[in-house]
Chain A
Amino acid sequence: MIDIKNLIFDYPGRRALNDISITVERGQIAALVGPNGAGKTTLLRCIAALHFPLSGKITIDGLDVAENPRECHRKLGFLSDFFGLYKVLSVKQNLSYIAMANGIRGEALALAVDRAAERLHISDRMAEPVGNLSRGLRQRVAIAQAIVHEPQVLLLDEPASGLDPEARKSLSDLFLELKDQGMTLMVSSHILAELEDYCSSMIIVRNGVIVDSDGQNQNVDVTCQINISLSRKIDDFAYRLQSINEITVIESDELCAQIEMSVSSESQQKVLHQLIQLDVPVCSFCQVKQQMQSTYLKQINSFDKNH
């Protein structure tokens, strides 16, 4: 869906992105991670056709961004670190303006605005001026604005910064919902914990380059570790686990096991379902956090050793 080849972007006196090549498949949530100043925002702005690179090519759904920036904007939604909202206008006016500016007219306009507001749970705030809303609510309005025209690709720069835990949870639920509807998301953050819940792949940027461990740029699939506890001992628990294709058993005994599997909630639900079908008396099935953090650190250390 997003294909970037040999992208170079310079600021005066500084190379911000150096020969970046990545591909993000349709329906993925790609986490763009890296320290502050690594080039994440610049990369997102290049994809969004807000920055013009020195060289290289970016295509969105086959469309060259440099050649067709306006057509690409129809396919893109972008949440910048500034929310880009008009404080004196109401939530409804803000959403209507962006919908109209993206060519939505007539009856479809009201439908699009209502749908975006419903998705972000702000339908009861439609008449309020945006300036009166809390930061968390403004963040939601900004995301609603980014998706009001149902883009195929959604780019989000630090979307959860400043949000309370409850709002972060509902945000990750929304991202998973959008992904399930076929949208491709690219989320930048330097806080890995917030990406853990919803990302299906990770792109690590450091000093303007994609970090790689084996000489090739790569996206690292995000997996997670799950701890399973049983209510009673099962002698052939390890054997039963091996019959489930989606998992890799790290360790197990008769009463508990640690497995590795895809981070997606659908996969987890499927594995749990299979365990129950296999008559395993599961009393606890919980994800071990910080997997992304350790993957990230592993990749960064490997990169630093090689450079």
Chain B
Amino acid sequence: MNMHINISPEFSRNLWIELGSHRLLATPLVLASIFFLVYLVTNNSPNSYYQSFYYTGVVLYFAFTMVVGTKSASESISNELKEGTWDSQRMTSISPWAMTWGKLFGSTIFSWYGGLIALCFGLLGAIELPNISSIDIALLLVAGILSHSVAMLFNLSLIARSRSIIESRSSYVFYLLLIFSAIALLKVFGSSETIIWYGETYSIHYFFVVSVVVFSVWSILGVYRLIREELQIRNSSIVWLSFVSFVSIYCAGFINIGNIQFEFDLFFARFMCAVAIFMISGYFILFFQKKDPILLSRLSVLKNQRKWYELLRTLPAWFTTFGISSLLFIALFFLTGSSDSPITYLFDNKLLLVSILLLIYRDILIVIYFSMEPTAKKVELTAILLLLVLYLLLPTIMKALGIDFLAALFFPYANQYTTITFIGSLTQLLLMIYLIYRRNMVITENWGSQT
């Protein structure tokens, strides 16, 4: 026990649970037996031994780290909740960082143990193979870390939303991650393709490995931030905003217009991409993050107490994301038509841009309105259904009836009926503000009657 004293207690605890003496001894023996079997069933040519060893090692590594490890990481904290041990952990004075790495590498230690032994056996074969790149091995290692950290990140996010729904949803995330990792690795493994990013050509291999490393760092940072919150240390949304900014810059690099007539075109297209990513992130976090009247009450209390710094720290990430998105949207407003570039003329209808912004605010208020119902169930699903009706069903029915101008009340058709779209979006926004005001009054009255 003393050997673990100076490392994270959480890591030590996971070692005691996950890596008992039986597993320590049995895993290499079972793996050695599998590789011996591979040796027996392979043709006698040395080259086929090496290849079989290598690919068996890779497949077993994938099975251990991606299948077993990702599942362990995804269930790590939800199992603590189920066993009633999470509160005991939260009550200790362990640091968030020690908890983060202790859980991330501790809960997956068995999968790393088995996976790395399998990979070592596989590498015995790879030494003699000419086409095996060390970058493939690096990719396998970092993909494991990314998969584990993303699984844990989703699990923690679900826990932050609700303590009761995590189990089933965690497994969906696990299967999705598994499929995604398998497809991505199969696509990139051994590939000699190239990729253009910000005009520079890179080997897809190197680019993918670097991307996986960078996104692993972000997801570990995400796990760390969510563990801080679980330990009751309040976070501001600055790290989330930095992440969204990074993703915007990262994705914008893939926009490469082959035949550039105007330098501004490329900048504008990349800027549009950044705005779109901010908006999508805003919607994502709006639907994903916990929203209830208590948060709104807390913000209201902090405002009344004039605790501005506290208020800023308490603002939910969707609020700040949409705040930045709005600023970017306003910048877009000024960029359109500011050059001779033809691409900007596509967005030259400023009234339409304003209408889109108003519709986005309406969408936010719809989600908040449903969240304010104290006993509400499936808030996000209800909001999504209503948004589908507003954006899709109603405009389609109206178009089918031949009353296109009324369809524009709900959907921003480019350069057509923009005044109607503006009136429609403004009316809907004002209606939502009124409905939220009414619901807030009811909630306040209910609380008043309880006290």
Contact = CB atoms under 8 A, between A and B. Distances in A.
Interface of A: 10-15, 18-19, 48-50, 52, 54-55, 69-71, 73-74, 76-78, 80, 82-89, 93, 96-98, 100-103, 105-106, 109, 145
B374 interface: yes
A206 to B, nearest CB: 13
Nearest to A82: B84
A89 B297 contact: no
B298 to A, nearest CB: 6
Contacts of B231: 69-70
B37 interface: no
Nearest to B88: A84
Interface string B365-409: 000000000110000000000000000000000000000000000
Q: Which of A12, A69, A85, A96 counts the most B-chain CB atoms under 10 A from its CB?
A: A12
Interface string B303-339: 0010000000000000000000000000000000000
Contacts of B6: 105
A151 B447 CA distance: 37
B94 A101 contact: yes
Contact of A55 (B16, B301, B450): B301
B85 A73 contact: no
A98 B88 contact: yes
Given A69-B232, A84-B87, A86-B17, 8 more contacts: A12-B293, A50-B87, A54-B294, A73-B92, A74-B93, A78-B87, A86-B83, A87-B83
Contacts of B16: 89, 93, 97
Interface stretch (B7-15, B214-222, B253-261): B7-15
6 contacts: A15-B447, A19-B451, A84-B88, A86-B85, A89-B17, A101-B93
A49 B232 contact: yes
A15 B374 CA distance: 12
Contacts of B93: 70-71, 73-74, 101-103
A101 B9 contact: yes
B233 interface: yes
Nearest to B372: A12
Given A10-B294, A69-B231, A145 B1 contact: no
B276 to A, nearest CB: 33
Contacts of A82: 84-85, 87
Contacts, number: 106
Contacts of A76: 91
Given A12-B375, A15-B447, A70-B231, A48 B91 contact: yes
A89 B87 contact: no
B446 A73 contact: no
B450 A12 contact: no
B388 to A, nearest CB: 26
Contacts of B88: 78, 80, 84-85, 98, 145
Nearest to A77: B91
Contacts of B84: 80, 82-84
B5 interface: yes
Contact of A12 (B91, B301, B305, B374): B374
Contact of B92 (A11, A54, A101): A101
The 8 residue pairs across chains A and B that have the minimum distance between CB atoms: A13-B374, A82-B84, A84-B88, A101-B92, A100-B9, A69-B232, A12-B374, A101-B94
A105 B3 CA distance: 11
Contact of B298 (A15, A18, A54, A100): A54
A100 B305 CA distance: 39
Nearest to A19: B451
B85 A69 contact: no
Contacts of B167: none
Nearest to A83: B84
A77 B447 CA distance: 33
Interface in B1-60: 1, 5-6, 9-10, 12-13, 16-17
Contact of B91 (A54, A71, A78): A78
Given A50-B91, A96-B1, A100-B5, A86 B233 contact: no
B5 A105 contact: yes
Contact of A10 (B9, B85, B233, B297): B297
Contacts of B87: 50, 78, 80, 82, 84
